[in-house]
């Protein structure tokens, strides 16, 4: 930087104010693009498939991306569940509609689990019991929410599906996922996510 300053200083054709201004701009550019100091290294995703969310330049931003994506997916799955319940109430809702909706709901939920599993693995890299406990609680929450699918699965297997069971599953899944999303937001500080 001193080098830049001295070059500009001896360029007598330029007015003094302009020289100072240019020096500031160059200094700012240098600061902006200079190589950043080495940050704590983190293993992005050991061996497995690629991360289901955008990987940032450091662990903090990757955790933030993961938390945001898990939050969006839980909201999306909750909304899908709500819409499915609304459709299932109508008289024209047939078994084939239910089958398609149910499969889509499972896919949404599975995507959420995959995202959260990856987020939980990353949080473990913080090597803090707070983060690991928070991840374990949210994981257990998803396991419990998945119990809401069981009665519908059982009735499907028995070939005696009750509309009321489907409606109940939709309502419980919707409410539970919205609660889970709130909990994820609340736990984000424990998970090591800075907003």
Partner 1 sequence: MNCVIQIRRTCFFLALSFCVWLTAGCATSETGSRAPRRGDGLREFQRLVLDLRKDVTSTRQAVEALAAATQKNSAAAYARFDESLQRLEVVSIKARARVEAMEKRGDAYFEEWTEEISGATDDESRRAAKGRFAELHRHFEVILKDTAQVRQAFRPFLEESRRLRTTLGPEPRFEAIEQARPMCAQIVSEGQQSGAAMDELLKTLKVAEAAVMAGPAPLPKPRGKS
Binding residues vs partner 1 (CB under 8 A): 15, 17-18, 20-22, 24-25, 27-29, 31-32, 39-40, 58-61, 63, 124, 126-133, 136-141, 143-145, 148, 151, 162, 164, 168, 171-172, 175-176, 179-180, 183, 188-194
Nearer to partner 1, 59 or 88 (CB): 59
Q: How far is the CB of 87 from partner 1 (least distance, A)?
A: 18
Cα distance between residue 43 and residue 61, in whole Å: 14
Coil vs helix vs strand at 38: coil
Phi/psi of residue 107, each to 5°? Answer: -65, -45
3-state secondary structure of 56: coil
Sign of the four-CA dihedral 34, 192, 63, 82? negative
C-beta closer to partner 1: residue 5 or 132: 132
Of 97 and 133, the one with the shorter C-beta distance to partner 1 is 133
Name the residue nearer to partner 1 (CB basis): 105 or 184. Answer: 184
> How many Cα atoms occupy the beta-carbon half-sphere of 2 within 13 Å?
0
Minimum distance from CB of 146 to partner 1 (Å)?
A: 11
Which CB sits closer to partner 1, 29 or 99? 29
Closest approach of Cβ 30 to partner 1, in Å? 10
We find the least distance from the C-beta atom of residue 32 to partner 1, in angstroms, to be 6
From the CB of 152, what's the least distance to partner 1, in Å?
A: 12
What does the DSSP assignment read for 100-154?
A: HHHHHHHHHHHHHHHHHHHHHHHHHTT--HHHHHHHHHHHHHHHHHHGGGHHHHH
User: Rounded to an integer, what distance in angstroms lies between the CA atom of residue 88 and that of residue 82?
Assistant: 10
Contact 95, 89 (CB under 8 A): no
Task: CB nearer to partner 1: give 57 or 92.
Answer: 57
Q: How far is the CB of 169 from partner 1 (least distance, A)?
A: 11
């Amino acid at each position: 930087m001193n080098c830049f300053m001295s070059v500009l200083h001896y360029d007598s054709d330029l007015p003094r104010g302009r020289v100072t201004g240019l020096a500031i701009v160059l200094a700012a550019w240098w600061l902006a693009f200079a190589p950043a100091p080495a940050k704590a290294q983190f293993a992005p995703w050991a061996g497995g498939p690629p991360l289901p969310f955008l990987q940032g330049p450091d662990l903090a931003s990757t955790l933030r991306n993961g938390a945001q994506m898990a939050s969006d997916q839980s909201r999306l799955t909750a909304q899908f569940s709500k819409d499915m319940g609304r459709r299932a109430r109508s008289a024209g809702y047939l078994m084939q509609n239910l089958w398609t909706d149910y499969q889509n709901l499972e896919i949404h939920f599975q995507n959420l689990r995959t995202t959260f599993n990856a987020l939980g693995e990353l949080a473990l890299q913080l090597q803090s019991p707070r983060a690991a406990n928070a991840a374990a609680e949210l994981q257990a929450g998803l396991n419990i929410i998945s119990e809401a699918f069981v009665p519908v699965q059982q009735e499907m297997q028995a070939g005696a599906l009750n509309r009321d069971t489907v409606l109940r599953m939709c309502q419980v899944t919707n409410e539970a996922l919205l609660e889970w999303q709130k909990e994820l937001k609340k736990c984000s500080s424990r998970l090591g996510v800075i907003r």
